[in-house]
Structures are given as structure tokens and as C-alpha cells.
Structure 1
């Protein structure tokens, strides 16, 4: 079986979807009668290469823009897929691509809570920003009815899709995995600084790893809660916000700059996924206040690294973290500040969260994710 994997819309490996593709490709099952070919921008020829020659790449020369990608999918995708003789096509950026192969079975992967994305966001097009209309939302929903199957990366996303009148029987839940060879408890370093080029991050610190992209991520609320925590406890901890930045990030920077503890707030911008294990290993805790998550992968990466986790009781996070996290309301500044204090100072709580979290994450692996994904594609032949 010849399987095509569309890497358009994956932000050249610099987003959550890009990390998904990198991990999936690395763990694709071999010797199962399948051949795999990635296709996407020519500039990404080596971005997702697993390095063992098991996956080929077909590069396409088009401008690096959302509009160009969508036009290519609309007018050229079907002929391209037929020419490459794909038996099925996987679309990891399923909610961004929106145009799928017609005669060749397609599987779209949905990582986002689509209804929230469409209801609250402005979609940035090359010509500027336009508000999402009810008609556009209807059109988008219709596009999700076209793939043979949809992979939802959590039950929370599956419920969201069915509420948008996507048939439940065409949606399969396949959780993202984690790379246990990367994320595991590491010995505490004696140095008071974590050096990850080009960063030098002074310890102790807590971490929130998420893109600075929208209000639902609750970066501003976390900064306010962190400031209250600092004022109340006087502890030396810093707050590290690690993630790529969208235009919304400007408001996060302003909030951080206006805090009386601005010198203890460190915003990294884009942070390479390969360096997160070291960043986690130097941290005291993971604080995750987002209320719009469909995946919550940083939670289980932090747990696998031996960190206690406190997060919002919202979105997919209770599903992903189970009983192994401390939950709080990110809109309640005092409650969030108290959660930060608890996971840092309550020894028994820290030990319980670390132990239970480490056992919990053993159920997540990229090998399982890749195997189930390919099995689904094979079932369509």
C-alpha cells in the first residue's frame, strides 16, 4: 500500500502539528507492506526526514503562504495524488488544509477544538484579517464531511466534531504519543542556570509551554497569578513562557512588562521541541492554564520528565491528565496563585503528582499512535 502524507500546513515543523508529523514519521511501522511518501513545500524536503531512507519526499514549488497552499490543494491535489499512485492520503493539518483527495481515500487529523477556533478567532489571510462568518463556518464543516475518516486526538475533540454534525462513526480517537527516549526524569544539575543555546535560564523556575496565540491560552491570567504568588510568598521562582508567537503575543509581552515582577518573567519565543527535555529537567513544575486545548501534549511530556503538573480544568486537559494533575480555574487569580504555591511547596502533593503522573504517561507512545494510524489507513484500501 502506497501512503501519501501531506505536510502542508505544518509550519515547517515549528508548531504542534509540525511536531506531530516529526514524531509520527519517525515511528511509522516498517516491513508491513506499506510505502510512505511525504509531500509538501520544497523547502521542507529535509524538515521531516527520519534519516533512515524509509520515507521519500515529493517537493512542490509554490509560494510560502496559506493562500497558495489552499489554491494548490483545490486545483492540483487530486491530479498529483493520482500521478503518485497513492492508495490513501493522510492530512495531519486536517483543519487547515480543508481540501482533500476525492477519489483516493483521505484521513484528516484534527488537533484543534474546531468550534472554538472558528467562533473566537479571526483567520489571517494574505490580504489581511477577516472575521469568520456563519457561512464560512458552514463551508468549513462541510469540508470535514469529505474525508473517509477523521482522526480526533482526544475524546473532547470527537464530541466537538459530532456537535458540528460530523458523523460519529467516521471519527476515530487516536491519542498523540510522547517519545520516552526524550522525556524522562533526569538527574538534577548542580548549576543554578539551564543553558540551552541561545538561552540561559536562571533556576528555580516554573514552565508554561504553549504558543502565544490567543486569549484562550490564558498567558495574561497566568502572569497575573504568578505576580500574586510572588508577592504572597516571596519565593525566588521565575516564570518561563516557551512557545512560538502570533500577533496576539504582543499583549502578553505588555502584561509581562507591566508586572512588578517583570524581571522574573522570561518569554523565549519559538523553542525547539528537541530542547524541551532539558528545559523540563531544570523546572520545578509545569503550570498549564489554557482552556481551549484539544491535545494537551505538554502536560504528559512534563509528567514523563518527572514534574508535578497544575492545569486548568477545561478542554481536553482532564481527559489527558486524569487524576495526576492539580486543577484550578485560570480566571480566578487567587486560585491559580494558590495552585502554583501548592505544587511548589506542598511536599506530599508534589510527590503524589510526580509518582502518579509518571505511571499515567506510560500509556502514551508514538509507536502506538503511528501503528493505529496506519492500521486505519490500511482499512480503507
Structure 2
């Protein structure tokens, strides 16, 4: 287990960056961007150590590779189950914390995904969503069982919880009776790379992904809660109204992808829907910019990155009016009921048929999205660390000997 000792400091923070190492969706973005900006924003009296379970041979992103780190060599299932066991038994998890702290500096652990080991130090848990509680049918039964047992423990044992949206904050209070004072609302940010792309770059991307006609865009993992079925039915309505657009779907295949493909065939849209899979990150800003409209009819989102990314790139957005999406989208996007394909088609049709409306949305989007900044997310997170360290009594917790 490679260990690099951090410089002496008042507070040592161990940040779980596992999602940035092993994943590619929203949790990965959160862990990676938070790590990058904590390195830049952390005060001199705070030392940062990255932790992750090195189960797949993956490594830290290059820009994070020089930071001190601690790792474990477990496979993913052993890691998750052993974390749950540590909480159930109340036994401190070995190998995450340094074995001794001769200068008595306080240590704090931050879990950035829904997996918190039992540790004898102050802990912060970021909760992104409680989809498995609200829409259990959209999780595999094994993951649902794990979270049903583990999440209440993780939430109860954490000393502080970061909620990434007010909607998640409300879910925590309603479903788990978490005291409001324990939950800290800290919004995520948008990468500055998401901005309106130059016309030449937009044209190049159009030639690659949709050379023969304009397109509507969906971005996100292909799984049931993203509600592609409603988007497909809305596309059929738009085609019947004479719109020539293709639906371009960007994102990796999640579970239950096959019913989406079957729906495309059932509706006769084989030539009108393109599943592009994962695309290079550099392609996303011009893809957003070139879209006539970005659709996000999700049934549930803990935050909803594509809404803000699309706005930052100057794309008009239509999204559903449930979960965190109205909160994140503000008054810039058009909101519709998530399963109402007629309403979705009507909203998109307005954007396509009213150039003034589309132009206004393209102008307002980047200004609105600029409010969501990773440096501010990191600053608020550091303030939480410091407050928690001051509140914690060193004599009440002991490191493993």
C-alpha cells in the first residue's frame, strides 16, 4: 500500500477520490473536480491526502497524481461489503488512516460517494441522491439491498453531510429524519471548458455526428430513470409535425438498455435516433452548442450536470419539472412533466419554431450557468472541514494503534 506522508499541518483531510479513478459519470466529476480545486483552494494549514481502493489497475488522473495518497488493493465487492461490515460491527476500518499521529494533528475523512467506512475520526459524507429509495425499480436488486442496509448507517454515522441539491437535502430529512443542522447544501460547479463553441468547431462536430440534418441532444448514461422512452415518443410527435431532427443520444450503456432499443424499433425511429455512446470530452461543448435543443426528461436527478453544461454552451434546454431539475435549471430552461411526451414535444416545438425564444435561451444560459463554480464548491467544503475540526474533541477519538 503506497503511502506518502503529508507535510505537518493543523488539519489532515483524507479525501476519497475513488469515483474519479474508477467511474465516468457525475460522481466521478464531483470527486475529481473537488480534488483539483481543493488542491488549489486549501489553506496552508490543511494537508490533503487522496484515498482510493485500487481494485482495477486504474490510477489517479494525471493532474492529481503528485498528491499524497493512500490505497487499498481490494476488489470492488470486497471493498463495498467490508465497508458495510465495519459500520454494522462498529469496527474501525484498517488501512485508511495513518497508524500514528505524533504531532497530534486532527484528521478528517470525506467520503465522496455513498460508501462511508467506520472510522474513529470526524467524517463527512456527500450524498448525491436517494434514487434507490424514490425509484427502487431503477436500481439492480443487489445495489438496492446494499444501499437499503448501508445508507441509513452511513448517514447516521457521518458527522456532517453534504447535499448537492436542496432536493437531496429534503429527501435526507424526510426519509432518514436527518437533523437539518447536520446537512450542508453545497452546489457543484461547471467546468470552464463548457462554453459556446466557435462555429467552425460546431460544424466539424456536426459533420461527425449528424451530417445530414439538425439534431436534438440527450446526454447521460442509458438507464431507465433518464426516461429516454418519453423522449422517443416526443421525437415521433415532432416528426409527425414535420420537423426533420435526429435525436442524438450521448452516454454509456447502463442497465436495462435493451428496452430503449426495442422502443426505437417499435416506433419506427431506427433512422432517426443515433446512440453515440461515450464521446471524447472535447466533443461535448460543440455538441451542446450545435444542438437545436437539449432534452433531459429524467424521472429523478440528484443534481443534473447536463442541464447546466448545455446552458453554459448556449443550448436551449427542456427538462422535467421534478426532483432537483427545477432547482438547477432556474427560470432559463423550459420545464415539463417527465412522462408527458406531448408536453415535451410541444416545448421543443416552441423552441424550434420561435427563433427569438431560442436566441434568448442561448444568451441567458451561459450567464446563469456561470453561477455554479467549482472553486466556490471547494471553498465551502474547506469551511465545513474547518468547522468540523474545531467542533470535534480530540480526546474523544483515537487513531488505531
Report TM bin, short chain: 0.7 to 0.9
Does the CA-based 8 Å contact 1:88-1:105 persist in structure 2?
yes
Does the CA-based 8 Å contact 1:100-1:106 persist in structure 2?
no
Residues 209 and 274 of structure 1: CA distance in aligned 2, closer, same or farther (over 3 Å): same
Residues paired across the two proteins, number:
365
Which residue in the other structure is 2:48 paired with? 36
Which residue in the other structure is 2:25 paired with? 15
| Structure 2: runs of 5 or more not aligned | 1-10, 390-401
Which residue in the other structure is 1:223 paired with? 232
CA distance in 1, matches of 2:313, 2:92: 41
Q: Deviations over 1:4-23 (max 9, x none)?
A: 11134567131210111121
CA distance in 2, matches of 1:218, 1:5: 33
Alignment of 1:179-258 (within 5 A): 179-180=191-192, 182-189=193-200, 194=205, 200-202=209-211, 203-214=213-224, 216-233=225-242, 235-258=243-266
Q: Return the match for 1:108 from 111, 117, 125.
A: 125
CA distance in 2, matches of 1:317, 1:350: 20
Q: Deviations over 1:142-193 (max 9, x none)?
A: 331110011000001100100021111100000010012x011122238755
Q: Return the match for 2:96 from 74, 81, 93.
A: 81
State the SS of the aligned residue for 2:287: helix
CA distance in 2, matches of 1:44, 1:297: 28
Residues 103 and 370 of structure 1: CA distance in aligned 2, closer, same or farther (over 3 Å): same
Alignment of 1:44-83 (within 5 A): 46-51=59-64, 53=66, 55-63=67-75, 65-71=76-82, 74-75=85-86, 78-83=93-98
Q: Give the stretch that moved more between structures: 296-305 or 68-77.
A: 68-77
CA distance in 2, matches of 1:264, 1:184: 27
CA distance in 1, matches of 2:28, 2:299: 22
TM-score, structure 1 length as denominator?
A: 0.87
TM-score, structure 2 length as denominator?
A: 0.83
CA distance in 1, matches of 2:68, 2:210: 39
CA distance in 2, matches of 1:107, 1:365: 21
CA distance in 1, matches of 2:154, 2:83: 16
Which residue in the other structure is 2:396 paired with? none
Residues 345 and 189 of structure 1: CA distance in aligned 2, closer, same or farther (over 3 Å): farther
Residue 172 of structure 2 is aligned to residue 161 of structure 1: yes
Which residue in the other structure is 2:3 paired with? none
- Between Structure 1 and Structure 2, which shows a larger proportion of strand residues? 1
Which residue in the other structure is 2:393 paired with? none
Does the CA-based 8 Å contact 2:169-2:183 persist in structure 1?
yes
State the SS of the aligned residue for 2:199: coil
Which residue in the other structure is 2:380 paired with? 372
Does the CA-based 8 Å contact 2:164-2:185 persist in structure 1?
yes
Which residue in the other structure is 1:176 paired with? 188
Q: Deviations over 1:238-264 (max 9, x none)?
A: 111112222211111221233323212
CA distance in 1, matches of 2:157, 2:151: 11
Residues 192 and 353 of structure 1: CA distance in aligned 2, closer, same or farther (over 3 Å): closer
State the SS of the aligned residue for 2:156: coil
Which residue in the other structure is 1:150 paired with? 161
State the SS of the aligned residue for 1:324: coil
State the SS of the aligned residue for 2:200: coil
State the SS of the aligned residue for 1:89: strand
CA distance in 1, matches of 2:80, 2:347: 43
